């Protein structure tokens, strides 16, 4: 409690919410590029995925059967409920291991908290993270905390993956089909909620999706023989898609009518309730994207909307797709076919 009997609204303590708090892609690229080549496969032959690949997590080969997956993620509150904040932050952190086709085996808390935040609130954040990590079969074994004016929470996660079963972000091929496992609109409705404009049922639906692990989707993709995937977070569907096709071997053509969005997104979209990160994504990624004329500017912004703990975006061959979709239906895993690769570079939405 900040005052006697006054509930704490965690989102009011956050300058930016969730994955929208990421540094802009342009800034991040400029920061990393000068030293990225210091840690490449030429210098570290067992480093299967490092800075050069701009993938979701680092992967280090131990032997012919095992490779370590290592990642970290943390962010300011995206919801006011402390338990849900912890669970969402943990699900988001674990997602990078799932996006590589791996299984998380151990995690550490990463925490920055204001000194005037009641201990029971911090405890609820930790409990939400711990119970979500347990759901993933991943023990939290320690961590580090510092004092800060703004709450921040997440995990550093170690996982395991077979070196031949990694889901690489850039292994997209001609003839692949694009499948998404969660709807879009997370940043939009999060921002509407922060402005007290989101209907409670709409925000509850968003919270449910953000707390959902990408564990089953990852397992199904690996079982289907897939080797290309990523998770959709702060750089949006179009940002992460751009990273998939950055070598210009193939492009992507999305079908606008096939892309799933959260219920009632249009009422928030038409009010322009996009987070600042959506505008930054537009500025950086729009140069390689074209839209059909009938898709409005507001609708276009939906595909630049930053997601927090978003779904997996998988590129699957014809045989992999059939196996994955059958497995998803049997397991109750959400999956939407939203596009295919094309011969020309760039991304097109029709």
Report the C-alpha gap between 84 and 78 in whole angstroms: 9
Q: At what angle do helices 276-285 and 25-36 cross, to 10 degrees?
A: 60
In the chain, beta strands by DSSP E: 47-49, 58-61, 67-75, 103-113, 140-147, 152-161, 177-180, 229-231, 251-254, 289-291, 312-316, 336-342, 347-349
Q: If you count them, how many residues does the chain have?
A: 350
- How far, in whole angstroms, is CA 299 from its chain's centroid? 21
Report the C-alpha gap between 310 and 185 in whole angstroms: 10
Q: Note whether 305 and 233 are within 8 A (CB).
A: no
CA distances from 233 to 2, 16, 19, 191, 309 (A): 31, 14, 6, 15, 6
Specify whether the backbone of 332 is left (phi greater than 0), alpha (psi in -120 to 50) or beta: left
Instruction: Give the active site residue among 16, 19, 138, 228.
Output: 19
Within 286-349, where are the H helices? Answer: 297-302, 318-331
Handedness of CA 197, 95, 19, 116 (dihedral sign): positive
Q: Note whether 8 and 117 are within 8 A (CB).
A: yes
Is 19 a catalytic site residue? yes
Catalytic residues: 19
């Amino acid at each position: 409690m900040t005052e006697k009997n006054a509930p704490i609204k965690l989102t009011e303590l956050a300058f930016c919410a969730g994955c929208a708090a990421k540094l802009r892609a342009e800034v991040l690229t400029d920061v990393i590029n000068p030293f990225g080549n210091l840690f490449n496969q030429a210098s570290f032959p067992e480093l299967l995925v490092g800075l050069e690949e701009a993938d979701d997590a680092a992967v280090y080969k131990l032997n012919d059967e095992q490779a370590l997956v290592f990642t970290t993620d943390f962010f300011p509150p995206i919801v006011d409920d402390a338990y849900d904040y912890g669970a969402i932050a943990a699900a988001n952190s674990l997602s990078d291991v799932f996006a590589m086709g791996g299984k998380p085996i151990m995690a550490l808390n990463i925490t920055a908290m204001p000194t005037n935040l009641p201990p029971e609130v911090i405890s609820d954040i930790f409990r939400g993270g711990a119970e979500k990590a347990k759901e993933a079969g991943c023990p939290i074994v320690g961590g580090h905390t510092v004092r800060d004016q703004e709450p921040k929470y997440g995990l550093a996660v170690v996982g395991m993956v077979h070196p031949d079963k990694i889901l690489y972000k850039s292994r997209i091929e001609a003839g692949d089909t694009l499948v998404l496992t969660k709807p879009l609109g997370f940043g939009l409705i999060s921002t509407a909620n922060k402005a007290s404009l989101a209907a409670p049922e709409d925000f509850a639906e968003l919270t449910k999706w953000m707390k959902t692990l990408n564990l089953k989707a990852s397992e199904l993709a690996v079982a289907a023989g897939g080797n290309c995937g990523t998770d959709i977070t702060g750089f949006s569907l179009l940002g992460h898609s751009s990273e998939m096709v950055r070598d210009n071997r193939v492009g992507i053509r999305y079908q606008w009518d096939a892309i799933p969005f959260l219920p009632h997104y249009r009422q928030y979209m038409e009010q322009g309730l996009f987070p600042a990160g959506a505008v930054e994504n537009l500025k950086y990624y729009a140069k390689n994207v074209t839209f059909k004329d009938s898709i409005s500017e507001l609708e276009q912004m939906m595909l630049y909307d930053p997601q927090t703990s978003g779904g997996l975006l998988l590129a699957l061959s014809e045989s992999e797709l059939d196996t994955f979709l059958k497995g998803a239906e049997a397991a109750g895993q959400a999956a939407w076919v939203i596009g295919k690769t094309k011969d020309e570079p760039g991304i097109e939405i029709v």
